[in-house]
Amino acid sequence: MVESRSIVHHISNLSIDSRRALDGLRVVEYRHLIVENEIEQVALRAARAAGRIHLKRLSRITVNRKSNSIDLVTEADRESEAAIIEVIHRAFPTHAILAEESGASAHQSDHRWIIDPLDGTTNFAHGFPQFCVSIAYERRGRVELGVVFDALKKECFIAQRGHGARLNGKPIRVSTMPSLGASLLSTGFPYDRRERRRFYLCFWEELMMHVQGVRRTGAAALDLAYVAAGRTDGFWEFGLKAWDVAAGALIIQEARGRVSNLDGSDLDLNGANLVASNSRIHDELIEVLAGARPEAERREAEMIRETKASA
Ligand code: IPD
Ligand code: CA
Ligand code: CA
């Protein structure tokens, strides 16, 4: 838009033909803005609908188990997912959906919404106040918009590609922390954490020696949003899913932070072993994680041997 405004500024010097072409350009840009705005409005409407359900359900929670005894699902997960999908489908009936509880829609589309209806289900099930809804909109495989909404704290983190990141309407930026040594990080553990505890804990143990503190808050989408807002300086976790990270990763990038795979390569949403940071400490963080890996693998192999021997 800035560019097009400066073009418009020089309109008086243009010939009639170029003015017509410019009018066309402005109409296209204007339409593009309306569509972008509609996407944002729909994402916010869907996030608010989910948030209302979180708050309503918080006082009477029904918990069920998913993949194992620590992987939980509540009525609030299912109800809020249905409400989000309804809002999106009412506005965009042909868009595809990838949602945690109901999976991927059968049809293909250039437009896809990636939804975690309730991130932090274990916290929610225990009444621990750290959970949110995470909604991302993707066009032709690239995330264009992300919303992470914590209804309890009334905090809405949002980013649209190229337009920066905001918290409740105010621009946010990652921290300016220059080095890992003084950093506050957060992390999380996937649902195979009992079987792989020695592997995951090895990275925490190593980082404990390199940073000021590590938090395990229990909601990855909020962990990412907090990096974007400069509340923490970095985050890592193994085995995250696209719905955990799609929105938060864009929010960090738009807040001038960095998000990558564990080895520093471009983030793969589908196999998310993720490192996020304010960008300044990114390489150091990756280096420490890489340094811990051989010992993590050794301890995991040892644990597998012990389990087999005692079986
Ligand atoms: C989980 C949370 C948690 C993270 C797990 C996620 P859920 O999502 O984000 O912080 O450590 O890996 O699966 O199950 O609460 O949506
Ligand atoms: Ca999640
Ligand atoms: Ca979830």
Note the pLDDT of residue 303: 85
Report helix angle 242-254 to 220-228, nearest 10.
0
Least-confidence region, from 39-43, 73-77, 116-120: 73-77
Q: Is the CATH code 3.30.540.10 the one for domain 30-172? A: yes
Tokens 């808050």 belong to residue: 217
Cβ neighbors of 267 (< 8 A, separation 6 or more) are: 245, 249, 259, 260, 261, 274
Ligand 2 center to 292 CA (angstroms): 25
Would you say the CB of residue 144 lies under 6 angstroms from ligand 1?
no
Residue with the bigger pLDDT between 211 and 12: it is: 211
Query: CATH 3.40.190.80 spans which residues of the chain?
Result: 180-310
- Which atom of ligand 1 is the closest one to the Cα of 71? 14
What residues sit around ligand 3, an ion, with C-beta below 5 angstroms? 100, 116, 118-119
Mutate to test the pocket of ligand 1, among 244, 273, 274 (most ligand atoms within 8 A of CB): 244
Pinpoint the residues of the chain covered by CATH 3.30.540.10. Answer: 30-172
pLDDT at 11 over 60: no
Per-residue pLDDT band for 310 (boundaries 50, 70, 90) equals: confident
Determine the pLDDT at residue 272: 81
Ligand 1 close to Cβ of residue 77 (< 6 A)? no
φ, ψ at 134 (rounded to 5°): -130, 125
CB 47 within 8 A of CB 154: no
Q: Is the CB of 220 under 6 A from ligand 1?
A: yes
What is the pLDDT, as a whole number, of residue 31? 66
Specify whether the CB–CB gap between 260 and 266 falls below 8 A. yes
Distance 11 CA to ligand 1 centre (A): 53
Taking the C-alpha atoms of residue 198 and residue 206, their distance in angstroms, rounded to an integer, is 12
Nearest CA among 172, 294, 171, 162 for reference residue 232: 172
Query: Which position has the higher pLDDT, 264 or 6?
Result: 264
- β-bridge mates for residue 97, sequence order: 113
- Tell me what pLDDT residue 64 has: 82
Contact between 225 and 165 under an 8 Å Cβ cutoff? The reply is no
What distance in angstroms lies between residue 311's CA and the mean position of ligand 1's atoms? Answer: 30
Q: Has residue 3 got a pLDDT over 50? A: no
pLDDT of residue 235: 98
Structure-token pair, residue 191 = 């649902």
For the chain, what percent of residues have pLDDT higher than 70? 89
Class of the CATH domain delimited by 180-310: alpha beta
- How far, rounded to the nearest angstrom, does the alpha carbon of residue 244 sit from its chain's CA centroid? 5
Does residue 238 line the site of ligand 1, with CB under 6 A? no
| Ligand 1 lined by 254 (C-beta under 6 Å) | no
Stated pTM of the model: 0.88
Express each pLDDT in 240-255 by its tens digit. Answer: 999 999 999 999 999 9
CA of 118 to the centre of ligand 2 (A): 7
Length of the chain: 311
3-state helix, strand, coil in the chain (%, to 5): 45, 25, 30
Q: How far is the CA of 299 from the centre of ligand 3 (A)?
A: 30
Grade residue 304 by pLDDT with cuts at 50, 70 and 90. confident
